[in-house]
Amino acid sequence: MTHTVLIGLGILIAVLTVVAALGLLPALRIVPDDTHFDFTRFRRISFPISALLSILAITLFFTHGLNFGIDFKGGTLLEVQAKSGTADIAAMRTTLNGLGLGEVQLQQFGGPAEVLIRVAEQPGGDKAQQDAVTKVRGALGESVDYRRVEVVGPRVSGELLAYGMIGLMFAIMGILIYLWFRFEWQFALGAMIANVHDIVLTIGFMSITQVDFDLTSIAALLTILGYSLNDTVVIYDRIREMLRRYKKMPMPQLLNESINSTLSRSIITHVTVTLALLALLLFGGQAIHSFTAVMMFGVVLVGTYTSIFIAAPILIYLGVHTTRGGDAAQDAPAKKPDTAAAKK
């Protein structure tokens, strides 16, 4: 079934390729050539909204918390498939909760036969976790196939969490240092604010949806970071170029021009990334479902928004403080020879 679909799509691509190569398709302009949208004006709306959302996300993080997976919380996770074809979750729950392992969580996972079983970390160190998994295996016996069994002891989970956080921090630092070298500190700072904003909002999203927060979530966060920065850097690159070329242009106008001229690229790239992520989300299976969902939110929604409405306009404020006080718009031209000289 899937193969015929794939072959059909392959033929479609071949035909499209020929048509495209011969120049028979109409030119597609997602963003009209002459776009001059005043993005920076929206900073008066976008900044308060972002601040509000960030506060909301942080509040959620502290009240709702994250749904820590066993990577960080320790404990046991089993993914089982009932051999009969349909899992009797109620019966399994009764059996497993009678084992004296505290509360055992069961959840349907994918098809009707698949069940995800979570056993909280047992008191008594690493040995106790092993005993717990032996008990669960014993209770379920041969009635199910064990598709996945994960046991993480208390020490490992602590380390994984620490490493994850340290890694996230190191990644941000490394990227900032690089940006500082390639641009100027204002840009690095702007990127960092945008970065933290992305991560905070994504964590808020994870808190609302209560998706498992585990090692793959850290991977998702880092990828979101990379993508968002990728976007920010593309706009910053353009801003730098414009700064060199138009030394007298007021800062908000210059930023607007930069965002507008990279807008087409931003949108096209995001459509492609969205298409790729959509495929992963729909066909990639349960195992990477939460990973792609988080990525979708972070990359597609937050990342794009941040680069355009936060990372770029924030330079208006950051630029001011380097020289003298006053209106950002007037200050910008005065600052430019300065930056040009610094680059030489």
Partner 1 sequence: MLYFTRWRALGIILTALVVCLCAVPNFFPEAQVKTWPAWAQRRLVLGLDLQGGSYLLLEVDSNYVKKEKLDQIRDDVRKVLREAKIGYTGLVVRNDAVEVRISKEGDQATALSKLRELSQPLGGLLGSSGQRSLEVEDAGGGLIRLKVPQAAVTERIRQTIEQSIQIVERRVNELGTVEPVIQRQGTDRILVQVPGLQDPTRLKELLGKTAKMEFRMVDSSVSPDQAQQGRLPPDSELLMSASPPPVPYVVKKQVLVSGGELSDAQPGFDQRTGEAIVSFKFNTSGARKFAQATAENVGQPFAIVLDNKVISAPVIREPITGGQGQISGSFTVQSANDLAILMRAGALPAPLTVIEERTVGPGLGQDSIEKGELAAYVGSILVIVFMLITYRLFGVFANIAVAINVAMIFGLLSLLNATLTLPGIAGIVLTVGIAVDSNVLIYERIREELRGGRNAISAIDAGFKRALATILDSNITTFIAAAVLFYIGTGPVRGFAVTLGIGIITTVFTAFTLTRLIVAGWVRWKRPQTVPI
CA-based nearest residue to 233, from 178, 281, 275: 178
Distances (CA, A) of 215 to 85, 100, 163, 204, 263: 31, 28, 10, 17, 33
The minimum distance between CB 188 and partner 1, in angstroms, equals 11
The minimum distance between CB 278 and partner 1, in angstroms, equals 7
- Pairing status of strand 114-119 against strand 67-68: unpaired
The minimum distance between CB 152 and partner 1, in angstroms, equals 5
The minimum distance between CB 63 and partner 1, in angstroms, equals 28
The minimum distance between CB 223 and partner 1, in angstroms, equals 7
232 or 328, CB closer to partner 1? Answer: 232
Q: How far apart are CA 33 and CA 55, in angstroms?
A: 38
62 or 283, CB closer to partner 1? Answer: 283
The minimum distance between CB 18 and partner 1, in angstroms, equals 9
Paired residues of 117 in beta bridges: 78, 106
The minimum distance between CB 250 and partner 1, in angstroms, equals 21
25 or 91, CB closer to partner 1? Answer: 25
66 or 294, CB closer to partner 1? Answer: 294
112 or 326, CB closer to partner 1? Answer: 112
292 or 331, CB closer to partner 1? Answer: 292
CA-based nearest residue to 216, from 153, 280, 294, 149: 294
53 or 284, CB closer to partner 1? Answer: 284
The minimum distance between CB 15 and partner 1, in angstroms, equals 10
275 or 334, CB closer to partner 1? Answer: 275
Distances (CA, A) of 13 to 6, 22, 217: 10, 14, 34
Distances (CA, A) of 8 to 1, 232, 276, 284: 11, 38, 19, 21
60 or 274, CB closer to partner 1? Answer: 274
The minimum distance between CB 212 and partner 1, in angstroms, equals 14
